[in-house]
């Protein structure tokens, strides 16, 4: 698919259609937040069923367009180098956040007043523990096992360093050991 080229109209159609899906997924449930809203299970079911699909279609289109070499401000934002850290640690955060969250919930022994700002946004200790545990999980397990997998199963392994042929080398016997220099490096060493 790398040789696939899209016309400007196809690109526009793709961006418009997926952007509409994203806006519908994001703002579609807004009327359900109204104080006068009467609960309708059909509305909730539609949102629960179609919202994740709409989000995924938008991001799938973004990745598809990016892989084909098309770029815009959004793709440049998603390609920011700073996001590499989050992509490396995201699976570990996924694995550690729920056990830590449930541990903290189970630790509470009395009723407390819930305040969104202090309990969700400012609970820095929980965030620090989650990121610390995720970092350790990534560094101690995920990265080493990923490297082992690459070593064992990667078909595109780099071949061993190729030694220059005898014609390309100068042999210097200035000690009891023979040192072989490629002829192009001998000139650099002489300088």
Of the candidates 123, 127, 125, the residue with the CA atom closest to the CA atom of residue 97: 127
- How far is the C-alpha of 141 from the C-alpha of 146, rounded, in Å? 8
**pTM summary value:** 0.59
Dig out the tokens for 128 from the structure: 């620090």
Domain boundaries, the chain: 1-79, 81-155
**What's the mean pLDDT in 98-117?**
84
- pLDDT tens sequence across 120-144: 777 788 889 999 999 999 999 999 9
Return mean pLDDT, the chain: 83
At 186, the pLDDT band (50, 70, 90 cuts) reads: very low
Q: Which residues contact 95 (CB under 8 A, 6 or more apart)?
A: 134, 137
More confident residue, 85 or 46: 46
């Amino acid at each position: 698919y790398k040789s696939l080229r899209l016309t400007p109209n196809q690109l526009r159609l793709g961006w418009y259609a997926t952007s509409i899906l994203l806006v519908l997924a994001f703002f579609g449930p807004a009327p359900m937040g109204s104080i006068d809203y009467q609960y309708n299970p059909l509305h909730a079911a539609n949102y629960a069923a179609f919202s994740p699909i709409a989000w995924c279609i938008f991001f799938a289109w973004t990745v598809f367009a990016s892989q084909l070499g098309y770029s815009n401000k959004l793709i440049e934002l998603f390609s920011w180098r700073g996001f590499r850290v989050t992509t490396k640690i995201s699976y570990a955060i996924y694995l550690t956040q729920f056990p830590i969250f449930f541990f903290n919930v189970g630790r509470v022994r009395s009723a407390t007043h819930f305040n969104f700002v202090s309990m969700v946004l400012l609970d820095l200790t929980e965030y620090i523990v989650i990121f610390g545990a995720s970092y350790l999980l990534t560094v101690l397990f995920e990265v080493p096992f990923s490297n082992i997998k690459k070593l064992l199963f990667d078909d595109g392994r780099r071949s061993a360093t190729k030694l220059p042929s005898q014609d390309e080398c100068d042999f210097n016997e200035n000690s009891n050991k023979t040192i072989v220099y490629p002829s192009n490096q001998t000139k650099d060493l002489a300088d």
